[in-house]
């Protein structure tokens, strides 16, 4: 996952995003926290803090990216700054050890305040060096998070069900993209949209089905399940016996059991086939590579 994250930051840079934007995007993507337009919060940090010869762009993006996983969610005094500060300090130490500086001008040799500095950056293709900074910054930020027991890698087992499905992207999972977007849609429409739907039905008959739509939206916005690792109390597959079976056999995933594939799964035929394929791929690729594959693909292909 670390190698992928660095590679992804490099690819983003090559496609036209700058260092801070690229590193932030890669770190957000690997943990399933990317939202379209997220790059804009990093734009002003690019070119050494908007061409002021400040902090390296890649470093800025990494600090913001680590904040997605290790930043505060409550103000003081409920939550201190000790964790985010320690993460950033460790990251900066590793970056300086590798490159001897975190300053944009020192790392690129370009004074972006001047037109001459801009020309030198273009003419000497110094962007090739910045790609290396992006790669290292994204990978190292992920390493720092992993060493602290935080970030995407810390939730891989928690959100990957024993059958190999990604609980974290399920429509019933509290905190999934579907859950968050459904809640946001409800909030945007407001609590009284039903009465407007009755009026709109006269202009467009699609709104005649609003009650049924609202019922589904209510379910999606509720976030009824915490995932198989925490009980799977609202799993749609009520006959599934896998989460209890792996616990009884002392394994995390079915492919780790010497009885796999067995007949104790309790799944319908179509899902049984997917269960087998998922666990075989996981065994072949390794857990983290497999989990990353899940995060980058639709939950319902």
- List pLDDT tens digits, range 136-156: 999 999 999 988 988 776 667
Domain boundaries, the chain: 2-152, 160-176+223-295, 180-213
- Count Cβ atoms within 10 A of the Cβ of residue 111 and give its class: 0-12 exposed, 13-18 middle, 19 or more buried: middle
What b/e sequence results for 250-270 when a residue is b if at least 16 CB atoms lie within 10 Å of its CB, and e otherwise?
A: ebebbbebeebeeeebebeee
The token pair that represents 275 in the structure block: 């269960």
Q: For residue 18, name the pLDDT band (cuts at 50, 70, 90).
A: very high
Q: Which helix (H) or strand (E) holds 83?
A: helix 82-99
Q: Which helix (H) or strand (E) holds 138?
A: helix 127-147
Q: For residue 133, name the pLDDT band (cuts at 50, 70, 90).
A: very high
The token pair that represents 78 in the structure block: 């409920």
pLDDT in tens, 240-295: 888 888 888 888 889 998 888 888 888 888 888 888 999 999 999 888 778 877 87
pTM value is 0.69
The token pair that represents 211 in the structure block: 């009650």
pLDDT at 2: 62
pLDDT at 114: 93
- Whether residue 106 is predicted with pLDDT greater than 90 in this model: the reply is yes
The whole-chain average pLDDT of the chain stands at: 88
The token pair that represents 276 in the structure block: 């087998």
State the Cα torsion 32-270-229-159 to the nearest 10°.
Answer: -10
Mean per-residue pLDDT, 99-123 = 92
> Which residues share a beta bridge with 166?
160
pLDDT at 166: 86
In the 3-class helix/strand/coil scheme, how is 24-38 assigned residue by residue? HHHHHHHCCCCCCCH
């Amino acid at each position: 996952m670390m190698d992928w994250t660095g590679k992804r930051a490099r690819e983003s840079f090559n496609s036209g995003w700058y260092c801070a934007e690229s590193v932030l995007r890669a770190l957000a993507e690997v943990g399933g926290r990317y939202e379209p337009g997220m790059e804009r919060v990093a734009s002003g940090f690019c070119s050494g803090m908007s061409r002021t010869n400040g902090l390296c762009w890649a470093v800025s993006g990494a600090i913001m990216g680590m904040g997605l996983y290790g930043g505060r969610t409550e103000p003081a005094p409920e939550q201190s700054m000790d964790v985010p500060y320690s993460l950033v300090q460790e990251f900066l130490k590793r970056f300086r050890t590798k490159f001897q500086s975190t300053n944009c001008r020192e790392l690129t040799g370009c004074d972006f305040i001047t037109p001459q500095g801009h020309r030198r950056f273009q003419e000497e293709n110094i962007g090739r060096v910045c790609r290396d900074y992006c790669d290292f910054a994204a990978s190292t930020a992920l390493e720092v998070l992993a060493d602290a027991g935080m970030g995407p890698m810390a939730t891989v087992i928690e959100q990957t069900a024993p059958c190999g499905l990604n609980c974290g992207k399920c429509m019933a999972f509290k905190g999934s993209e579907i859950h968050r977007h459904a809640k946001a849609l409800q909030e945007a429409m407001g609590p009284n949209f039903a009465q407007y739907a009755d009026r709109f039905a006269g202009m467009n008959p699609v709104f005649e089905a609003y009650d049924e739509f609202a019922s589904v939206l209510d379910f999606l916005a509720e976030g009824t399940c915490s995932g198989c690792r925490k009980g799977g109390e609202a799993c749609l597959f009520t006959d599934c016996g896998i989460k209890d079976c792996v616990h009884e056999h002392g394994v995390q995933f079915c492919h780790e059991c010497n009885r796999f594939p067995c007949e104790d799964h309790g799944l319908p035929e179509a899902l049984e086939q997917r269960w087998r394929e998922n666990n075989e791929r996981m065994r072949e690729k390794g857990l983290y590579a497999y989990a990353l594959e899940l995060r980058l693909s639709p939950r319902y292909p």
